[in-house]
Amino acid sequence: MKAVLDTNLVIYLQKGLLADNLPSGEYLISVITEMELFSFPGLNDEQQAWLRRFIDDIEVIGIHEKIKQRAIALRREYRLKLPDAIIAATAITHDAVLFSNDQGFAGLSGLKWQGIELCQGTARGKRYESSA
């Protein structure tokens, strides 16, 4: 299985909020997700170091012509925010499932979208640990 992780999923991983481990597979993120994660104004040194290790372990997909054209079409048809259109287009063009808890992705033509269950209450869930 190939999957693109939306920004919210990476944040959930970092905070240990996933109820279960992600299924085994190949994981990608869009360069937009990388930019969103590192541009958060409240990011502390520990969080930044964690993100750097995570980014080093995962494939980051840039915006090539197919992604650009698909994002334009998605934005026009569904009036998505540009970052969401690019992330969805990344998943579509790489024939990957988009893991996101953003309901705005539900029902987009050509997109395989899946939400992820989060921990209930104060229980801590599954975290991503770098292999490095």
pLDDT band at 8; cut points 50, 70, 90? very high
Task: Give the count of domains, the chain.
Answer: 1
* Residue 112, CB-side half-sphere exposure with 13 Å CA sphere: 11
Joined tokens for residue 29: 């993120």
Angle between helices 45-57 and 31-38 (to 10 degrees): 170
Percentage of the residues of the chain whose pLDDT score is greater than 90: 89
Least confident of 37-51, 64-78, 118-132: 118-132
Q: Is residue 130 part of a domain?
A: no
Residues spanned by the domain of 75 = 2-114
For CA atoms 93, 98, 100, 104, give the dihedral sign. Answer: positive
Residue 109: inside a domain, yes or no? Answer: yes
Strand partners, 60: 29
Both tokens of 114, joined, read 């899946």
**pLDDT of the residue at 124:** 56
The predicted model scores a pTM of 0.90
pLDDT of 41 reads: 93
Among 97, 91, 92, 99, which Cα is nearest to 116's?
Answer: 99
Would you say residue 130 has pLDDT above 80? no
Residue 25 included in any domain: yes
- Helical segments of 21-60, H only: 31-38, 45-57
| 94 domain residue, yes or no | yes
